[in-house]
A and B are shown apart, each in its own frame.
Chain A
């Protein structure tokens, strides 16, 4: 019994403490270094942020280059797919354009009326900064839905900025480096956005699920959602302005939300921050 325990101790000591053949570092030394790094990250030591930022600058660029062959392959397969669907899409789009042209005429009046009313209620209407950014890295992970963009603190990017794909909300900035930034996508498990569901003016929270769809949470039982209901930002919390389109209700029972933007196909995004109109404040 004692002999087998000795064997176990010797094997453990040999595996972790001894520097093996042709290994420059001992395993226990590196494990200890990792634990120190985790601890320093946990206590948010500024030096670790600089280290992370430095590694990020290099790794994001290298990762962007390393992903080029895979990106090209995806682009080609998408192109072939699109080519086969082109005719059907053309017919659908022609009909939609006709529909939209008629709706647009009404919209011009509604937009001007909306702007006038927003001035009265002192809402966020001014875009203070708008930057276009290229998506450097779109690493799919089961735990983080995020993308890396090629704008950072040198371009006045800061945490909390809204990230739009066209006019649709896709996420917000959560980490800013010197020349790059990380965007937490609205599909991420940790993403919680105050939303308003129309028609009905229903306030709720849109939560990411880690998958392609989002989910409406904390909705009181008295409210019923229907398939096709539209989801917009509500502006509560002051991070985003109200009325940015996000998606539509897909299934009324599970309250899942299909995003307007395809989050796996982002190439360029707009980084936007909002502030209240100075004119309104002075008024």
Chain B
């Protein structure tokens, strides 16, 4: 009986550990896009927040291979040239992994400020490629708004994800 309860807990924990990945695929595949909410200048890039947080705090929940495929799916759904979103997502993973390696005492403010640098670099590379090689027109006001709100909302989502971690994995990575 004890064995079966422990096995059940393990399976539940496994399912919950893949929730971030599931959320990423829903965000990428769903028609409703938080990256464009229809409000003037208000939009945010939820996959950026999700990938950065989970790569930083619990990278085993969100594998690089899955992120690469999610990027390909995003390119197909949004209509970007294949590989652009994958590259952007993986750059974010790289920054998160670098921060994880140099951090001894995790601190949400440090993570937050480093997230700003990360999204600035990732978006710069993304739009440089889109504008230079694929001649895509971009509304810079909307893009600035998107960057600002993505940065701003990271702090809130980090709290929510941290709370989720504490409940599901019984650990906190503040």
Residues of A at the B interface (CB closer than 8 Å) are 7, 10-12, 14-16, 20-27, 30-31, 33-38, 41-42, 48, 51-52, 55-56, 59-60, 62-63, 66-67, 70-71, 137-144, 146, 175, 182, 189-190, 210, 264
Top 8 A-B pairs, shortest CB-CB distance: A37-B83, A15-B97, A67-B31, A34-B87, A38-B83, A22-B60, A15-B98, A34-B86
- Within B102-143, the residues touching A (CB, 8 Å) are 102, 129-130, 133-134, 136-139, 142-143
The 24 listed contacts between A and B (C-beta, < 8 Å) are: A15-B101, A25-B64, A25-B65, A26-B64, A27-B97, A30-B86, A34-B83, A38-B84, A41-B82, A42-B133, A52-B82, A55-B76, A56-B76, A60-B76, A63-B30, A63-B77, A66-B26, A67-B32, A138-B31, A140-B31, A142-B43, A142-B146, A182-B79, A264-B38
CB contact under 8 A between A24 and B63, given known A11-B102, A59-B76 = yes
A52 to B74 CA separation, bound complex (whole angstroms): 12
Residue of B nearest to A26 (CB): B64
For B82, the chain A residues whose CB sits under 8 A away are 37-38, 41, 48, 51-52, 55
Partner of A143, one of B68, B76, B138: B138
Which of B4-12, B88-96, B164-172 forms part of the interface with chain A?
A: B88-96
**Chain A proximity of B80: nearest CB distance (Å):** 8
Q: A38-B133, A143-B137, A143-B138 are in contact. List 18 more A-B contacts (CB 8 A).
A: A23-B60, A23-B63, A24-B63, A25-B68, A27-B94, A30-B64, A33-B86, A59-B76, A60-B77, A66-B30, A139-B77, A139-B78, A140-B31, A140-B32, A141-B35, A141-B78, A142-B146, A143-B136
**Chain A proximity of B39: nearest CB distance (Å):** 11
Residues of B at the A interface (CB closer than 8 Å) are 26, 29-33, 35-36, 38, 43, 59-60, 63-65, 67-68, 71-73, 76-84, 86-87, 90-91, 93-95, 97-98, 100-102, 129-130, 133-134, 136-139, 142-143, 146
Residue of B nearest to A68 (CB): B31
CB contact under 8 A between A20 and B65, given known A35-B83, A37-B83, A62-B29 = no
For A210, the chain B residues whose CB sits under 8 A away are 139, 142
Q: Is the CB of A42 within 8 A of B139?
A: no
**Chain B proximity of A159: nearest CB distance (Å):** 14
Overall SS of chain A's interface? helix
**Chain B proximity of A62: nearest CB distance (Å):** 6
Partner of B59, one of A20, A25, A55: A20
A141 to B32 CA separation, bound complex (whole angstroms): 9
Partner of A189, one of B84, B91, B101, B137: B137
For B71, the chain A residues whose CB sits under 8 A away are 34
CB contact under 8 A between A141 and B30, given known A15-B101, A38-B84 = no
Select the residue from A34, A37, A210 with max chain B CB neighbours within 10 A. A34
For A175, the chain B residues whose CB sits under 8 A away are 79
Residue of A nearest to B67 (CB): A30
Q: Is the CB of B72 within 8 A of A55?
A: yes
Residue of A nearest to B74 (CB): A59
For B33, the chain A residues whose CB sits under 8 A away are 139-141
